[in-house]
Amino acid sequence: MQECRLAAVNLACRRGDRVLFRGLSLALGGGEACQIAGPNGIGKSSLLRILAGLLEPFAGNVARSGEAGLVDERPALDPHLPLAGALAFWERFDGRAAEAAARLGLDELGDVPVRYLSTGQKKRAALARLVAQAAPVWLLDEPLNGLDTDAVKLVEALVAEHCAGGGLAVIASHQAMALPGGARRIALRDFIA
């Protein structure tokens, strides 16, 4: 896995006329994980989009080395294609989507159109795409939403394996999640403007 590093210094985020948070700094290297916690609407998703480079911070800056993969509420899979076809699109780029789908218990759903998958199945499909991507920086937005107990344990194991292999993970979630040892927890509420 390529070297990875993620640093944010003095970040602030504004949505409309409202500043959601300010003064947030973090630094992670390979093997580390961090959970961003807080209630709905506090800015967790916006923070991940800033860290991914998809949203400009209102203040502060982000430095990242290593490719980033983001899983949020949009699974980045064509809803009209059967799951196998939607993952096959990514297979052309990543080469491991089918293997990852099997690991996440999706191999029997290959002929089901993505739009008919349950919330948890869509989440696992998005995670399969992320695993196949082999990005060293994982940005996970509410990764446990819609998952049953077994799938939650699988996601926790995937994050632990990713970090043990030298990757890093930032998980935005208001749900409790077992993270690799030494993982940091940041309460976004502490940075409300």
- pTM as predicted: 0.92
H or E segment and range at residue 116: none
The predicted model gives 41-51 an average pLDDT of: 94
Tens of pLDDT along 47-82? 999 999 999 999 999 999 999 999 998 888 899 999
Two tokens, residue 105:
């218990």
The rounded distance, in Å, linking the Cα atoms of 139 and 15 is: 20
Identify the weakest region by mean pLDDT among 86-95, 111-120, 152-161.
86-95
Q: Per CATH, the architecture of 5-191 is what?
A: 3-Layer(aba) Sandwich (3.40)
DSSP code of residue 191: G
Radius of gyration of the chain (CA): 16
The rounded distance, in Å, linking the Cα atoms of 115 and 179 is: 31
